[in-house]
Amino acid sequence: MFKFNFDVENDTEQSTDVNHTTKNHGPASAPTIGPDAFTELSLANALNSLPSKISYSPITIQLASGSGLSLPRRDLFDARFQLISQNTDDTDALEQPSINARSALHFLDAPSDLVPLVYEGGLKTWECSLDLASYLDGISSQFDVSGNRVLEIGCGTSIPSLYILHRIFSSPPSQNQTHIHLQDYNASVLELVTIPNIILTWYLSEAAETYRKSEERADSPLELNISEGLKDAFHQSLMTYGVHLRFFSGSWDTFDLRTSGGSYNLVLTSETIYRMESLPSLTAIMHGACNTEGPKGVDNYLCLVAAKVLYFGVGGGVAEFVRCVRDLDTGGAVETVWEKTQGVERRVMSVRWN
């Protein structure tokens, strides 16, 4: 059984224990890390706010084929360093709503600590996100993401979207236009980890081969120089591969589908069903985001949720999620498409809204 652990535990990559809220900082004293209303972030601004060098470490996804795929993730100590230097260089940075440096620093030091509707755990990679990426790999011959609209809800370090981008950037460029939108509660998470992880994934892909040969390498193999040339080459690749990225922060109940451009063909989320109170807004955004229009019986969308079966201590889990989908009264149904039954039980589920 998965348990929100009230004991302090180091943030390890695939740790199943997290610290929950009030032990270290209760809601009353919890610092704020960003606004909770729907806000779109500029990719260019986020890239411009990065330091001249970022460091990263690989994380391995076990693919359905049995092989491993290594994806890069920005090191949290490096994100921390960015905030500290911003803090030192520019005291105004503390006033910016998108990066509340003090709060972000607080959670960078304890990336597993969830403070409801303040910081929701997006700095850490949660293990079901790896399950979801692995599942996507298993169905890649049946579902071509290219040319579709994709939304990852509660993306955090965005492993499923990184997997999708890795595939796109490792295939020949296509005429198809692919829209990948990433949502997280915290703007700081998008700025500090999601967007850096995306540029790292591009940098290590075949799409960046020419750039890699031309650039002046960073001193260490696990560092990337963030130069103007890199940003230009990245933007050029996005155009060449027809990839359109957008980033949205804020709570699920404020998500504005009209601003985001309407429904999606692939809706993904992992480790987001842990809290009962948030389940209605999560299921509502999932339902609203899926392209349920079109002829009956034709699949216009795929909606996948990866989660632990039980999140003891906060009340959420698979049973509550299934109940919530039913309560939406749209004839929704949840099917388990992958499961792990040993140890902490985990599932990947497909949701049909009918």
Ligand X SMILES: C[S@@+](CC[C@H](N)C(=O)[O-])C[C@H]1O[C@@H](n2cnc3c(N)ncnc32)[C@H](O)[C@@H]1O
Question: Toward ligand X, which CB reaches closer, 21 or 272?
Answer: 272
- Summarize the chain as % helix, strand, coil (round to 5): 35, 25, 40
Q: Is 163 in the site for ligand X (CB under 6 A)?
A: no
CB of 289 to ligand X, least distance (A): 13
CB of 154 to ligand X, least distance (A): 3
Place of tokens 């994380």: 59
3-state secondary structure of 181: strand
Sheet holding 311-312, edge to edge: 18-19, 2-5, 311-312
Are 310 and 341 spatial neighbours (Cβ–Cβ below 8 Å)? no
Question: Toward ligand X, which CB reaches closer, 137 or 241?
Answer: 137
Are 188 and 153 spatial neighbours (Cβ–Cβ below 8 Å)? no
Q: In which element (H, E) is residue 79 found?
A: helix 76-89
Q: Which of residues 244-263 bind ligand X (CB under 6 A)?
A: 251-252
Can you tell me which of 34, 72, 111, 156 binds ligand X, judged by CB under 6 A?
156
Question: Toward ligand X, which CB reaches closer, 86 or 270?
Answer: 270
Name the DSSP letter for residue 42. P
Q: Is 278 in the site for ligand X (CB under 6 A)?
A: yes
Question: Toward ligand X, which CB reaches closer, 149 or 308?
Answer: 308
Question: Toward ligand X, which CB reaches closer, 33 or 208?
Answer: 33
* Angstrom distance (rounded) from CA 93 to CA 287: 37
Are 126 and 156 spatial neighbours (Cβ–Cβ below 8 Å)? yes
Q: Do the strands 346-352 and 302-308 form a parallel or antiparallel pair, or are they unpaired?
A: antiparallel
Q: Determine the size of the site formed for ligand X (CB under 6 A).
A: 21
Q: Is 129 in the site for ligand X (CB under 6 A)?
A: yes
Can you tell me which of 121, 196, 316, 317 binds ligand X, judged by CB under 6 A?
121
Can you tell me which of 55, 260, 272, 283 binds ligand X, judged by CB under 6 A?
272
Can you tell me which of 34, 154, 316, 332 binds ligand X, judged by CB under 6 A?
154
Q: Is 111 in the site for ligand X (CB under 6 A)?
A: no
Question: Toward ligand X, which CB reaches closer, 123 or 207?
Answer: 123
Give me the amino acid identity at 144.
D
Q: Is 317 in the site for ligand X (CB under 6 A)?
A: no
The residues that bridge with 310 in the sheet, in sequence order, are 317
Are 192 and 46 spatial neighbours (Cβ–Cβ below 8 Å)? no
Q: Which of residues 171-230 bind ligand X (CB under 6 A)?
A: 184-185, 189
Q: Is 270 in the site for ligand X (CB under 6 A)?
A: yes
The residues that bridge with 2 in the sheet, in sequence order, are 311
CB of 25 to ligand X, least distance (A): 17
Phi, psi angle pair for 49, to nearest 5°: -85, -5
CB of 158 to ligand X, least distance (A): 7
| Site residues (vs ligand X, CB under 6 A) | 120-122, 125-126, 128-129, 154-157, 184-185, 189, 251-252, 270-272, 278, 281
